[in-house]
Amino acid sequence: MAEHQLPAALPAELPRTDRTRHRRLREQGSLDRAELNAILDAGFVCHLGVVLDGVPMVVPTVYGSDGRHLYFHGSVASRSLVAAPEAMVCVTVTHVDGLVLARSVFEHGVNYRCAMVYGVPRPVTDPDEKSAGLRLLTEHATPGQWEYARRPNRKEPAATALLALSLDEASVKIRTGGPDDGDSPDAALGIWAGVLPLHSHWGEPEPDPLLPSGVQPPPQVVARSNTRAW
């Protein structure tokens, strides 16, 4: 995933709003922009929450980030955007890092990194910004493919809606480390406690059956295979 330098004009701490001030689990919350970017950079699928007729809808979709905006395709949100073009959305990116196995069932938990972003997505219509945004989205999920694969022609960008969501209102929650009952009375029970880590890995490239023989996967795909994703 792309590495972002902190944009010079953005403060390192995200603003505290009514929605991002961490009512619960305060110890895990953060408004650190570098942590936000690290979580966004590590993944490429978010869960986009919109409201349709008062009912929430949560859909997974691919995103890209440049440290100031998330970009995502508009189709998944188009029902909502048509119905309420100024409607707030919530985008959540979560990486599950392991199970926290405590001495007591009640203290069991999950290690995770989670970013939540609130805002009103802006449809990107300027052709140059749209091209740059589509490139960023592609390169975020599949680095190297924008240069390698056939890039969009003039018609293709028109067929897809691109949305930009500011990273101005966002927050982070992270849980790491072992269980919390190591100094409780349960510690005397002789029950094993610790973490069972969970990792995501890229596998071996699987060629399209329709591919002519002799076409080898490009270096960026080979380099990624059999490595850890997050």
User: Which of 26, 154, 206, 213 contacts a second copy by CB under 8 A?
Assistant: 206
DSSP string over 56-82: EEEEEEEEEE-SSEEEEESGGGHHHHH
Residues forming beta bridges with residue 89, ordered by sequence position? 119
- Per-residue interface string for the shown chain with a second copy, residues 60-89, x marking contact by CB under 8 A: x-x------------xx--x--------xx
Q: Does 210 bind a second copy (CB under 8 A)?
A: yes
Give the sheet arrangement for strand 122-123, strand by strand: 29-30, 169-175, 109-119, 89-101, 45-52, 55-65, 69-73, 162-166, 122-123
For 59, residues 6+ apart whose C-beta sits below 8 A from its C-beta are: 47, 48, 50, 76, 77
Q: Does 55 bind a second copy (CB under 8 A)?
A: yes
Token representation of residue 97: 């890092």
Identify which of residues 5 and 153 has a Cβ nearer to a second copy in the complex: 153
Minimum CB–partner distance for residue 78 and a second copy (Å): 8
Select the span of 3-11, 28-36, 64-72, 106-114 touching a second copy (CB under 8 A).
Answer: 106-114
Token representation of residue 46: 């978010």
Residue 142 to residue 160: CA distance in whole angstroms: 18
Looking up tokens 């999920």 gives 141
Query: Do 201 and 226 contact (CB within 8 A), yes or no?
Result: yes
Instruction: For the chain, report the end-to-end CA distance as a whole number of angstroms.
Output: 10
Q: Does 108 bind a second copy (CB under 8 A)?
A: yes
User: Which of 40, 91, 124, 162 contacts a second copy by CB under 8 A?
Assistant: 91
Within residues 7-36, the interface with a second copy by CB under 8 A covers 19, 23-24
Phi, psi of 171 (to 5 degrees): -150, 170
Select the span of 2-10, 26-34, 97-105, 121-129 touching a second copy (CB under 8 A).
Answer: 97-105
Looking up tokens 């002789």 gives 190
User: Which of 26, 128, 192, 213 contacts a second copy by CB under 8 A?
Assistant: 192
Identify which of residues 71 and 118 has a Cβ nearer to a second copy in the complex: 118
Minimum CB–partner distance for residue 132 and a second copy (Å): 13
- Per-residue interface string for the shown chain with a second copy, residues 117-156, x marking contact by CB under 8 A: -x---------------x---x--xx--xx-xxxxx---x
Identify which of residues 68 and 224 has a Cβ nearer to a second copy in the complex: 224
Residues forming beta bridges with residue 96, ordered by sequence position? 112
Minimum CB–partner distance for residue 151 and a second copy (Å): 5
Select the span of 4-12, 30-38, 121-129, 177-185 touching a second copy (CB under 8 A).
Answer: 177-185
